[in-house]
Amino acid sequence: MEKTITGVYIDVEKLSKHVPQMKARDEATAELYNTMENYRSKGSGMDSIPPEIFNALVSHLLAEDRLRDAMMIVCAANWGMRFSDLSRVRFCHIFDRSGNFLDKFSLPNGEKKTQKANIYFNNEATRLMIRRYIAEDPRITPMDFLFTSNSGNAPETSYLEIEAEEKYGKVIKKLKKQNILLEKERKSLIKLYTENLIDSGTFKTASEEIEARAEHIRGEISRTEENKRKFLSENPDKAKIKIQAPLSRTAAENIIKSALAEINVLPKNRTDKGTAATTEEKYNTHSLRKTFSAQFLETGARLRDAGKIDLDRDLMQLLQDKLMHSSMQITDRYNKYQLEIFGTICRNMNIGLEAILSE
């Protein structure tokens, strides 16, 4: 018998029989904690990029003459777009036919994730950065994407395919989603019937109603896809026009992480795990949308306190509505006064402007 520091006597011989089980339990417990720590780390999402790091990042890219990379970071932060939408922006979206910068713009078919219409505002920072980029490349056309690969092996895409997708893609995607929901409804109905929760008459009537809706949707999908094929076949000249495909998310994240490493900012999710992190925060493409969020609140509060805007609702709710997360009200409920408040705040944000003007 041995006495522990707590004063309790333990039978060492008896305890030794349980050592393997205790060791396995301890290892399993350690593994469980590692799993939970990783889960909590992932669940926290990305962080916004602080102004001093953001400006240092833009300054570094401009000094290195990496105009596309600087433009991507500045535009993403000031527009507040998800990367899936940022990669869709073409020059025809932000300039009119006379070559004038649009004060605000939207993308065809709305946001890729939500399919909701959204309005984005240009400010001095985005205008200066985009014009600086254009001045260095006179080959740019209105149909080109803003953010493309600089690699000589970059893929090309058909201008006609892009137009067809913008014209018919949203409709087809919406119809197919409705079809999937009907299939789930059909399965739920069958389950109710097999569990004797509804009678055969109710089951038959409901099944026929579901099938009628499904047949209508299939017909709409077929007609829309046929219209898309017809559009493609009737515009053979447009099919010959090739433009460079947009930058991929992976490439964009590599740009951000490598540029941060070059200015000695090593986030928690850095690419090179062999070097020690300089911050516990995590940065990637979505950090630019988070940067928009943080600056939106700060700028909105500053303008409100200066009496330049008159807000009748909480700034955070206003931001949530602007970002159109699933639990927020949709944009078309806003009146013109509220939309103008959005514009005023976005035009005054100018994230990265200090770095652009200093170069």
* Of 266 and 10, more confident: 266
In one-letter notation, the amino acid at residue 287 is: S
Residue 26: CB atoms within 10 A of its CB come to 10
Please give the pLDDT value at position 197.
92
Written as six digits, the tokens of 305 are 């306190």
Nearest residue to 231 via CA among 188, 185, 171, 184? 171
Please give the pLDDT value at position 112.
86
- The DSSP result for 192-213, as a single string, is HHHTTSS-HHHHHHHHHHHHHH
- Beta partners for residue 156, in sequence order: 244
Indicate if the pLDDT at residue 170 is higher than 70: yes
Taking only the tens place, the pLDDT of each residue in 47-94 is 999 999 999 999 999 999 999 999 999 999 999 999 999 999 999 999
**What are the residue ranges spanned by the domains of the chain?**
2-43, 161-236, 249-358
Residue 338 region by backbone torsions, left for phi larger than 0, else alpha for psi between -120 and 50, else beta:
alpha
Give the phi and the psi of residue 308 in degrees, each rounded to 5: -90, -20
Give the phi and the psi of residue 263 in degrees, each rounded to 5: -105, 20
Give the phi and the psi of residue 157 in degrees, each rounded to 5: -130, 155
Please give the pLDDT value at position 113.
87
Quote the pTM value. 0.75
Ranked by mean pLDDT, the top range of 28-32, 184-188, 304-308 is 184-188
* Of 27 and 153, more confident: 27
Please give the pLDDT value at position 3.
47
Taking only the tens place, the pLDDT of each residue in 279-323 is 999 999 999 999 999 999 999 999 999 988 876 566 656 666 666
Task: For residue 16, name the pLDDT band (cuts at 50, 70, 90).
Answer: low
Task: For residue 341, name the pLDDT band (cuts at 50, 70, 90).
Answer: confident
